[in-house]
Structure 1
C-alpha cells in the first residue's frame, strides 16, 4: 500500500480548553452603607513581571460571598507553566474602572495547580502579601474539549477500473460541512491495483469529522491515485454519522459510490462501486487531563549520572561543574522538567538517585544511591529540595562508572507493579534519567524497558553534553518497536529522549541577586517548554497511556 502525498490534518493532544469558574467567601466589606460590589479580573503572566488581562467576571452587587456566573476558558498547555493571577475588586464606578475600585485581594497560582486540584481554594492576600481579612477564593476547573473519537473501518467492492494497464489504486477522502464549504477531515492510504480494497482501520476526532454533531452532513469521495497528483474521480456519496451508526448496528453500512457525470451520460447507470463502512464506533479518547482530574497521581523520580565521563566537578570543563551563577546542564534539566511536573504531585516529595559513583563511607560503586544518602527516605522536598541535595551530594562522591541504567529502571518498575494491583489507575510513575554518555548495560536496559512497558510507567532521558547519544535514540522507540536482547517486544513506547544541547541558544544566566536555590529564569523559557512539547502528556495519555487491564486507558 502506498500513502497519498498529502495527509489529512492532525489534531494535537497536548492542548485542551479548560473552563474556570470562580467564587469567593468572606470578602472585606469596603462600602459604608452597603456591602462590596465584587468583580474578579484574571491575568496571565506573559514574561517576567508582565501580566496580561485575560478577562473579567460580571460585577455582583452587595455581596461578600459571590459566585460569578461568567467563566474563563483558557487553552491549557501541560508542557508549559502558566502563571495566573486572580484579582478581586469592589467596583464603585459605572464604567467599571479599576483605578477607582477598592482592592479586595488576589491569588497567584499556576493553571496546573488548579487542574490537578479540580477545586483550588486559597486565602486572598493584599499586594504586600498580608492576609485580606478572612477572604478566600475558590477556582474550579472543567475540561471543555470533546475528546470523543470515531473508529472507522472502510472497504469497497466493484469499483470502476480507471487505469488502462491495470486496476485502480483507490483511496477515500472524508469531508465535513462547514459554513464556508466542505473541509477535508481525513484521507485514507492508497490500496494499489485493487477494485475491492480494504483500508486500514483509522480513528478521527468526532469534532473534526462532523463538529461533534452526528446529524451533520459528511461527504466521502473515492479517487484513483495517480503519481502525477491528478487523481481520477471514481465516485462519491453523502451521509451522516447517525445514518452510518444506525446502518452498521446489525450489518455493514453500504453506500452507492456515484459519479454524477457518468450518471447524466449513461442510461441504466447504477453506481461506480459500493463503499462499505464495516465498523463505526464513537469512543472516548482519554487525555492527560482526564487522568489528572480523575485522581491519577504522578510519581516523579530523578536519576542523575555521576560517572567519570562527566569530568572532575571542580573544573569548569566538567558537566557537573556549578558555575558562580549556580547552574550547570544537570541543574537546568532538573529545573526544566521538574518545574512542569511538580504541580501534579500532591505531596511534592521526589525520590532522587544517583548512579555510577563511589559513595561514602566505603567508597564502593553504586548504581542506585539516594543523593541525600538516606536509603530509608530518599525523598526531597520539591524541586528545590532535589537541587539542594544534588549540590550537597556532589562533593561527597567520586565520579566513576560504568553507566548502568537498568538498576534504577527496575527500582521504579517495582512500584509500578504494586500500582497495577489497585482497583483503579491511580498511580503513574515517571523516571527522569539525566546522563552524559553511552549506556554500558544496553542489553539489561533493553530488557528492563520492555518489562516496564507493561506497567504504568514512562522514562524521560535527557542527554547533557556533546557525547554520542545514538544509543539513547535507539531506546526511544519512535522509529520502531524496541525489543529485548531475547527478542521480546515492548508493549508500548515508554521512552522519550531529549538532547539538552538543542537549547544552545537559550541563555542560562542567573541574576546575581537571585537565591542559589531559586528557580532560574530559563525554566519558563518558551523554547525549552515548546521543545519538551507534550513530552510527559504524550507518554501518559492517548496512545501512550497505561495498557494494564485494570487501567481506564488503552493503547491504540
Structure 2
C-alpha cells in the first residue's frame, strides 16, 4: 500500500554549506632558508554509499591519476599560509537519516601566478596533476552535524590537520545580498617593535588587506569564522578596497544582529600576515542611516547633484583587549538589496557609486531575515544542543519463533544480523549522529517471566546502555537468557514508559535545556489493542515524543498501514516502516524511518515557543 507522503517531510532534505580550515601545514621548499608557506587549497569530492562510483581513498591513487573520480563538489581558493582559513564554501544538499561521505583533499599548488588572497580567486590549472597532496580526510555529514559546533578535525598524511565545519542554510537567508565599500584611514603599523610607520613615512608603505569574520551562531563567546578576505591594497596607509557583494547567508547566517569582526592585516612578502587592528559591529548597525556608534561622515563627490555616500567609522584597535587606536575603518556606500533586483554598479577610483539601487529594503522589515519561526529547521535545534533521547522496544512474542532455530526472527547467527539487529543498527546509527550522550533505554515486551506475561521489561542488567552496540548487547542478553516467548502483542506499556520520560522533560524544559524523545518499536505483527494504542498516542501528542514502528518478518501489515493513515489524519507523531522493503539497503531504512522526525520535533518546539 502506497501512502501519500506527509507534507511535513519537506524538512527531510536541507541545504548545507561546507566550510574548511587547515592548521600546521608543512612549509615548502628545500633547505632551511628556502622554506616558504604553502599555497594551499582544498578539493571536496563526495559520493553516496548507494551508487557505484569509486572515490580515491589514498593520496597515492590521487597522485597517480592526476584527477579525482566520482563527484567533484568544488574547491576553495588558494591561500598562501600554513594555517589557511578558506572563505569559499562548498554547497551541499543533504537528506537527514542518509549516509553521505565526502573526501577533503588538501593540496599545494605548484603553479606560479595564482591569485591567493581573494574571496573569489580561482586556479588557472588545467588539471590537479600540477599540485601535490598534503593528505586526504574522509568525513560523514551526519557525523559532523552531530558534533558540538558542527566541526570535525582529521590529521593529514604529510603533517597538519584539516577542520571541516558544516553550516545549515536557513530559509530566511534566501534572496538577500549586502553590498559594502570598505576603506581605512591612518593605519599605524608596528615595525620590528621599534618603529611606527605613519602616512609620511620615508619607507615603502605596506600592503594591507581586510577580512570579515562572523561569530559562531551556537556559541555567544566562541571563535569567529572568516567569511570574506579581500585582495591587498598595495603601498598605502589609506587603502580603498574593491566593493564587496555577499549574500546574507554567507555573511551572517541571515541574522543582521549577528556579531561581525573586521580585521585589517599587513601582507608580508613571504605570504605571512600580521594583524594591524580589528573592529566589531553588526550588519544592522552598518545599515542604519542614523547611528551614534563612532560617527557618521558624509563624503560628497563632485557637485550638488552627485550622490552622497554615508560611511560608518569604526575605530581599529590592536586587539579586543588592548584599546590602542591604530587607525579607523570606514564602511558604507551600499545597501541591503533583494537578490532579484536589477542593478548596475560601477565604481570610481574613490569607491563612490554611480549607479542607483532600484529597490531599498526598509530596516524595519529586516527581522524576518533571521530564522523564521514557522520554518525553523531541525539542524537549528541540534546546534542549540537539543538532546535527543532514544528508546528501543523489542517484540519477544511467540510469533517470532523459537530463537534456537534458524526460522526464528530472533535467531542469532555468528555471520549476519537478524532483522531485529539490522533494524537497531540502521536506525540507531542514523539517529545517534545527532545524540551526544548516547545513553539509550532498551525494553522488551511479550515474554513470560516466572509464568507471568510481561508487556514491559528491561533488557540487560542496566537501565540504560551506551551506544548502538550497547543496545545490541542488551538484546542478545535477553535471547541468551532463555526467556519464554508469549503474547499478545501490546505496545501500550512501552509507549507509556517513553511518555513518562518525555513528560518529565516537557515540564522542566527551557530554551537552554531542549530535549526530545524518540521511541523505536520493532515488531513482527500488527499488534493487539490498536484502539487503545491510538488513544494513548493522541494523549501523548503534546509531549516531546515521536514513535517509529518497524515491522519485521513476512506478516501482512495491513492493519499497521491503516493505523498509520489514521495517525496522519489525526496528526499523531508516529510512523510505520516495513523492514523487508529496505532490507538490502540499510541506509534507506534509516532514512525512511526518520523522515518524519524533523517535522515532529520542529512542530513541538514551535508550539512551545522555542
TM-score between both structures, scaled by the size of structure 2? 0.56
1:421-460 pair list within 5 angstroms: 421-424=508-511, 426-460=514-548
Q: Which residue of 1 aligns with 2:26?
A: 28
Unmatched 5+ stretches in structure 1: 1-8, 149-211, 217-239, 247-281, 483-491, 508-521
Q: 1:399 aligns with which of 481, 485, 488?
A: 485
Q: Which residue of 2 aligns with 1:292?
A: 382
Deviation at 1:498, TM superposition (A): 1.2
**CA RMSD of superposed structures (Å):** 3.5
1:242-289 deviation per Cα after TM superposition (whole angstroms, max 9, x unaligned)? 9xx99xxxxxxxxxxxxxxxxxxxxxxxxxxxxxxxxxxx86312222
| 1:410 matched to 2:496 | yes
Deviation at 1:398, TM superposition (A): 2.5
1:483-522 pair list within 5 angstroms: 492-503=571-582, 507=584, 522=585
Q: Which residue of 1 aligns with 2:455?
A: 367
1:132-147 pair list within 5 angstroms: 133=159, 135-146=161-172
Confirm or deny: 8 A CA contact 1:41 1:87 kept in the other structure: yes
Q: Which residue of 1 aligns with 2:78?
A: 59
1:265-304 pair list within 5 angstroms: 284-304=374-394
Deviation at 1:215, TM superposition (A): 9.2
CA distance in 2, matches of 1:31, 1:418: 62
CA distance in 1, matches of 2:48, 2:535: 44
Deviates more, 1:30-39 or 1:363-372: 363-372
| 1:461 matched to 2:528 | no
1:92-241 pair list within 5 angstroms: 92-93=110-111, 95=125, 97-117=127-147, 119-126=149-156, 133=159, 135-146=161-172
Q: Which residue of 1 aligns with 2:586?
A: 523
Confirm or deny: 8 A CA contact 1:121 1:136 kept in the other structure: no
1:121-143 deviation per Cα after TM superposition (whole angstroms, max 9, x unaligned)? 4443346xxxx645352424132
CA distance in 2, matches of 1:540, 1:462: 20
CA shift in 2, pair 1:438/1:147, >3 Å: farther
| 1:390 matched to 2:475 | yes
CA shift in 2, pair 1:10/1:340, >3 Å: closer
Secondary structure of the residue aligned to 2:146 is helix
| 1:476 matched to 2:564 | yes
Confirm or deny: 8 A CA contact 1:24 1:65 kept in the other structure: yes
Q: Which residue of 1 aligns with 2:91?
A: 73
Deviation at 1:213, TM superposition (A): 5.8
Confirm or deny: 8 A CA contact 1:357 1:366 kept in the other structure: yes
| 1:14 matched to 2:41 | no
CA distance in 1, matches of 2:126, 2:412: 51
Secondary structure of the residue aligned to 1:476 is helix
CA shift in 2, pair 1:283/1:546, >3 Å: closer
1:185-236 deviation per Cα after TM superposition (whole angstroms, max 9, x unaligned)? xxxxxxxxxxxxxxxxxxxxxxxxxxx96999xxxxxxxxxxxxxxxxxxxx
CA distance in 2, matches of 1:136, 1:533: 31
CA distance in 2, matches of 1:410, 1:529: 24
Deviation at 1:74, TM superposition (A): 0.4
Secondary structure of the residue aligned to 1:23 is strand
Task: Work out the number of aligned pairs and report it.
Answer: 383
CA distance in 2, matches of 1:122, 1:80: 19
TM-score between both structures, scaled by the size of structure 1? 0.61
Deviation at 1:551, TM superposition (A): 4.2
